[in-house]
Structures are given as structure tokens and as C-alpha cells.
Amino acid sequence: MSSPLQLNKNAAALLKVDKLAMRFGGLHAVNGVSLCVPEKQIVSLIGPNGAGKTTVFNCLSGFYRPTSGSITLGNEAIEHLSSHQIARKGVLRTFQNVRLFKQMTAFENLLVAQHSQLNTGFLSGLLKTADYRQRERQAMQQARYWLKRMALSDVGNREAGTLAYGQQRRLEIARCMLAKPRLLLLDEPAAGLNPRETEDLKALLGELRDNDGITVLLIEHDMKLVMSISDHIVVINQGMPLAEGTADEIRQNADVIKAYLGES
Ligand SMILES: Nc1ncnc2c1ncn2[C@@H]1O[C@H](COP(=O)(O)OP(=O)(O)OP(=O)(O)O)[C@@H](O)[C@H]1O
């Protein structure tokens, strides 16, 4: 299939990606991918190895400037913005390989995540003004709250690098949550998790959507997780759109089955 998929014009989209393309020299890593992420939903982006999923994320989060196409957050075009500017607009991401401050405790990682909110100026920090102390208290409260929500209270004082992999993944998501995301981009959050940890992750994602109203775009190879948690699934292959629909539609799609079988 070569033509880009049509956007669902009826959905109240938080994120709209239209005909996105990213070329590296002669390689079309992404070529005409369109997708739409409605508010408070979980949309999954799947595809065989090398399909272009992470490249799409790198474009969405400003790590790459797309060769062409548009990315709209709310009503605002963001495809030309830097990664810092996009993060400030509330698009937060995790990476395939966990990126934490491994020598710091879990709690300290969550304090560092609030650094920009704490940063009230050199002098107020030095003099520990009432305002600074109040912000510091709030930051500690928030860190404790998210440790609890992520079932990490017991390991809050342990160095992040010594935590079980599933705990590190949850800590990374907590760090994003502290920045009050409008959109969470999760790149293979179940990679390296055991079945029990994957079940916990599934429950957590459902909770973030249903109780916290968080909007998620998920890249994931664990099909059981994708099929059970996604409101909508977009499939790409060799940089191009292949299919989109509900889990049932994707499960039965002949093009998708062929693309995945071709991989094994
Ligand atoms: N910075 C880069 N320079 C050159 N080629 C790149 C670059 N980043 C990605 N590619 C190529 O683009 C294609 C898509 O890669 P990408 O990592 O986006 O795929 P993916 O779907 O995320 O794969 P996986 O599921 O294996 O993580 C691959 O052929 C990859 O080698």
C-alpha cells in the first residue's frame, strides 16, 4: 500500500501527523505516515523491525526535523520546533533504553525532573526564600506521590541503577508524569519486562488514561499488550502506512499478517 492513510476528521485529535516523511540520504525511513491521536486515548504505532517507528517518534519529539509533512499539537504546528520547545509544550517521551540518572536514588530522579519548576533564580535558591522552600516542599510531595502511584515507595531511597528493570521503566514514566504531559510518547515500554511486570504496565497505562486523562502514543512489540490496551492501532511497514483500525481489525488484516510473517 503506498498512499497515506486518511486522518479521521471526526476525532477530537490532540496530535495530528499528516504525510510525515524522513529521509536519511537515499533511505526513506518514513514515507507518508499519517496518524491521529485523540485526547485521553492510547494509540499504538506498530510495525516490523526497521519499519520507521522510532524515527516517527524522533520527528514528533523534535530530535529530527522531518523532511516533509506536518505535525500538529492541538491547533499548533510543531514540526519545526526543537526537542526542548516540544517538551515544554507537554510532549514527553521515554526511550527504548531506559535513561535515568542511575547513581541517584529513585526519589532524587523525581526531584531533578521538577528542576525547571523549582528554578526560581540563583538568589532565592541561595537564600532559601519562603517561596523557594514552598516549591521545594511541593516538589518533594509530588515525588513521593508518584513513587507511591508507581508502587516504588519502598525503593525510593535506592539508586535507580540498582532497581529491577520493570521498576526503572515505571520510574521513567513517573518522571514524565511530573512534567504534567499533554501527550506521552512511550517507546517500547514493555521491552525487557517479564510477564508479571508487563501486566503491571498494562494496568498502569489503563489507569493513566482512565483516571488521569493522559493521552498516549505507544510503540510496542508485545502484541498481547498492544491488542489489549489500544483504542486504535496504526501499522507501518518499511516507512509506509500499512493499516489502521481497532485491535480486531488489525488482527485480521491480511497485509499486517503478511508483513509480520515476512519478518520471521
Ligand atoms: N539516524 C539515522 N541515520 C540513518 N538511518 C537511520 C537513522 N535512524 C534510523 N535509520 C534507519 O531508518 C529505518 C527505520 O528505523 P527505525 O529505528 O525508525 O525503525 P523501528 O521501526 O523503530 O525499528 P525497531 O522496531 O527495530 O526499533 C531503518 O532502516 C534504520 O536503519
pLDDT at 57: 96
Instruction: Tell me the mean pLDDT in the region 87-97.
Output: 88
Residue 200 has pLDDT above 70, yes or no: yes
Residue 126 has pLDDT above 70, yes or no: no
**CA-closest residue to ligand 1 atom 30:** 50
The model's pTM is 0.89
Tell me if residue 161 falls in helix, strand or coil.
helix
- 85 and 215 inside one domain: yes
Ligand 1 atom closest to residue 57's alpha carbon, by position in its atom list: 18
**CA-closest residue to ligand 1 atom 26:** 49
Residue 120 has pLDDT above 70, yes or no: no
Q: Is 3 within a domain?
A: no
Q: Is 116 within a domain?
A: yes
Domain that holds residue 196: 10-90+182-263
Tell me if residue 156 falls in helix, strand or coil.
coil
Chain segment 203-224, per-residue pLDDT in tens: 999 999 999 999 999 999 999 9
Measured at the alpha carbon of residue 238, what is the angle toward residues 69 and 98, in degrees to the nearest 5?
A: 85
Q: Which residues contact 172 (CB under 8 A, 6 or more apart)?
A: 94, 98, 99, 100
Residue 11 has pLDDT above 80, yes or no: no
- 86 and 104 inside one domain: no
For ligand 1, the distance from its centroid to the CA atom of residue 259, given in whole angstroms, is 17
The residues lining ligand 1, judged by C-beta closer than 6 Å to any ligand atom, are 24, 27, 29, 47, 49-55
- 208 and 259 inside one domain: yes
What whole-number distance in Å separates Cα of residue 1 and Cα of residue 222? Answer: 24
Residue 151 has pLDDT above 80, yes or no: yes
Instruction: Tell me the mean pLDDT in the region 101-125.
Output: 78
Grid cell locating 236: 507501518
Q: Is the dihedral of CA 184, 187, 188, 190 positive or negative?
A: negative
Chain segment 13-50, per-residue pLDDT in tens: 999 999 999 999 999 999 999 999 999 999 999 999 99
Residue 184 has pLDDT above 70, yes or no: yes
- 72 and 29 inside one domain: yes
Domain count, the chain: 2
Q: Is 57 within a domain?
A: yes
Ligand 1 atom closest to residue 51's alpha carbon, by position in its atom list: 21
For ligand 1, the distance from its centroid to the CA atom of residue 192, given in whole angstroms, is 20
- 171 and 220 inside one domain: no
Ligand 1 atom closest to residue 236's alpha carbon, by position in its atom list: 21
For ligand 1, the distance from its centroid to the CA atom of residue 174, given in whole angstroms, is 27
